[in-house]
Amino acid sequence: MDEPTRIREIYDRLIHTRDIQHWQPTSMSYFEGQPFKALLAAMLSAQTREENTTAAINNLLALADAPEAMMQLSDEQIRTAISPVMYFEGKVRYVRDIAEHVAANGGVVPRTLDELMEYKGVGWKVAVLTLAMGYGINDNITVDVHVARIGIRLGLVKATTKQPPKVNEELKQVLPREMWEHWNALMVMFGRTICLPTYPQCKKCPLNDICPKVGVK
């Protein structure tokens, strides 16, 4: 099997895997087409479990769901709302900074990585996720721990590649364009159900016969 055929086979088998199809959507997917909310949720999600991000963003949006209204909140209100996420003390400042910048920009969230990354608390991954969810711009693949780990195991990414932007570049060189949009969600679901971080379930994995299992003991 040549490499393009193997990659197509990986993709097709995964999207037809029952465990993956029945997995719940990520909290980010609730903010498709809503850039301001997507940006906040992406920023809050850094280093944080899915359910805690969901709780925090829902708390925050219940208090204020537009930039101007969010600027009126006290630090204490924001702190309490986002307390479920990791490093919430520092993220209070990021929430305020994002609300102020977006309000100053006429309520419009920027549509480029460079502009978004000028905001406090917005790194490459948060910016990519925001563009994908908020605007449907999928010029890059959102790289999280699942995408990076499974990319290496599947032999799509070099084992020495660590930085998310580099993982993204290597994946983009081998994955057809139409797969980029769905790759992150697919890997997140696959990484939570089968290709687990510590004990990958290779025996029941639909990719067992076409996976080189790089780094798997």
Residues serving a catalytic function are 125
CB of 209 to ligand SF4, least distance (A): 8
In this complex, which beta carbon is closest to ligand SF4, that of residue 103 or of residue 202? 202
- Would you count residue 200 as binding ligand SF4 (CB under 6 A)? yes
- Kindly state whether residue 157 participates in binding ligand SF4, applying the rule CB under 6 A: no
Shortest distance, CB of residue 208 to ligand SF4, whole angstroms? Answer: 5
- Read off the tokens for 150: 């499974």
Contact pattern for ligand SF4 over residues 114 through 153, marking x by CB under 6 A: ---------------------------------------x
- DSSP result, the chain: --HHHHHHHHHHHHHT-HHHHTSPPPGGGGGTT-HHHHHHHHHHTTT--HHHHHHHHHHHHHH--SHHHHHTS-HHHHHHHHTTSTTHHHHHHHHHHHHHHHHHTTTPPPSSHHHHTTSTT--HHHHHHHIIIII---SS----HHHHHHHHHTTSS-TT--SHHHHHHHHHHHS-HHHHHHHHHHHHHHHHHTS-SSS--GGG-TTGGG---TT--
Q: Is 194 a residue that touches ligand SF4 (CB under 6 A)? A: yes
Write the single-letter amino acid at 18. R
Minimum CB separation of residue 184 from ligand SF4 in Å reads: 16
List the interface residues with ligand SF4, window 41-70 (CB under 6 A).
Answer: none
Size of the site for ligand SF4 (CB under 6 A): 13
- 172 contacts ligand SF4 (rule: CB under 6 A): no
> Can residue 188 be called a binding residue for ligand SF4 (CB under 6 A)?
no
Select from 68-76, 125-133, 155-163, 193-201 the region that touches ligand SF4 (CB under 6 A).
Answer: 193-201
User: What residues line the site for ligand SF4 (CB under 6 A)?
Assistant: 153-154, 194-195, 200-202, 205, 207-208, 211, 213, 216
